Amino acid sequence: MSQAPKNDEPRGRTNPSSRASIEAVDPEIAGELVSLRDEIDAIDGEILDCLNRRARRVQRVGELKQGGLRGPIYIAARERDLVRSLVEANEGPFPSAGIPHVFREIISATRSLEERVRVAYLGPDGTFSHQAASRQFGAQVDFVPVTTMRDVFTMTERGDTHFGVVPVENTIEGPISVTFDALVETDVTICSEIKLEISQHLMSRTGKIEDIQKVASHPQPLAQCRGWLEANLHGIETIETTSTAAAAQLAHADEKVASIGSEVTAEVYDLLAIASGIEDHRGNTTRFLVVGRETPAPSGQDLTSAIFTVRRDQSGALHDLLGPFAKHGVNLTAVQSRPMKGKHWEYNFIVDLEGHQEDPAVQRALAEAAEVAASYKVLGSFPRALEVISETAPSAPAPAASTTPTAAPAAPAKAGTS
């Protein structure tokens, strides 16, 4: 039987070959560099030991759950608060901006020892939905790309995946109607939210703007870059696709087609950047929802979404519907209207509010609003996102801020930023 070569190099020591470049340095400096690098290697070994100690504790948690204390495998509030507390406790010099990314992967890896999480998103690989899911769950999960937004809800509702990630609104283009419709029509609940900063990039196989005859992308990026396209590619033909990744596939197949999407999309589909940051407004952010089948427990910093219908012939119905929230001191963060399918000029009202449906004040306000409404449904209570995640780099959580209530009109049906 063949035997693998024996490695006699002790853990925590730098391989002597790596010291070759030091020989030309001043002997005193060289000696200190070797010593520092040996210390770093030893610290890396301690970090590995700590990671394995953590992993064994997670395995024990999994054993307890299998013994009858079954609980959720993903608790967004716990992960959010853990990262936030680590950032606040960080004394440096390790950059606080790196902590969320590092610990998200640690949590993802150890969670996979308990159970491998499956997450559906609007594919294919490289979409903004894919990025949002990766930022939220880390790399050690099974990502399941699907062809339509509705499929994300269907697979989650059936239990084919544990969770789904869907875009719900954008700071430029507003609410994404297909997501709201699916929330109303399927038996899933909102488990958490993700806020991803979106930057749009123009890319093609050649990387040359003079080669472009068509520009392809999802309708939302095309709308977000309308001004730039008009100024720089006036009169160019645009092609709407089901996702930014699908547009990148077109660009990869035809050098005369450019696509609009993320830097990740360019890497995945081997495209060259022509122009970066071409969105018409800076600070472009898309809010995504994580949907699942279990309502998270209150975290102390939660949001609740609910949908109400009111009778068209009832004067002051919307005023009466919203009154209980003011009465019980419940802050509304958004009120949006959606047309009722099959009923002309009648609307559903989607209300986002601060607090959890188990909070006493929220319970009272929802109960009184339900008495006014013809029907209602709580879409979910979930921990609010306390950070806007950069598309290209991790960021440290920012202090939570109260949101001013807004009213948004019904949006045309779109497949969402993807």
pLDDT for 103 equals 83
pLDDT for 390 equals 64
Please name the CATH architecture into which domain 201-276 falls: 3-Layer(aba) Sandwich (3.40)
pLDDT for 189 equals 94
Superfamily for domain range 295-408:
ACT domain (3.30.70.260)
256-294 tens-digit pLDDT: 999 999 888 888 899 999 999 999 888 888 999 999 998
3-45 tens-digit pLDDT: 444 444 444 444 555 555 545 567 778 888 888 888 898 998 9
How does pLDDT run along the chain (418 residues), one tens digit per residue? 444 444 444 444 445 555 555 455 677 788 888 888 888 989 989 999 888 888 888 878 777 766 554 556 677 667 777 877 888 888 889 988 888 778 878 877 777 777 788 999 988 888 889 989 988 888 888 899 998 899 999 999 998 999 999 999 988 778 888 898 899 889 999 999 999 988 899 999 999 999 999 999 999 899 989 999 999 999 899 999 988 888 999 999 999 999 999 888 888 899 999 999 999 888 888 999 999 998 888 988 899 999 998 877 677 888 889 999 999 999 999 998 888 777 777 788 999 999 999 999 999 999 999 998 888 999 999 998 877 666 554 433 333 333 333 333 333 333 344 5
pLDDT for 413 equals 34
The amino acid sitting at 58 is V
Tokens of 74: 């993903």
CA-CA distance, 226 to 220, in Å (whole number)?
A: 10
Segments making up each domain of the chain, as ranges: 25-66, 201-276, 295-408
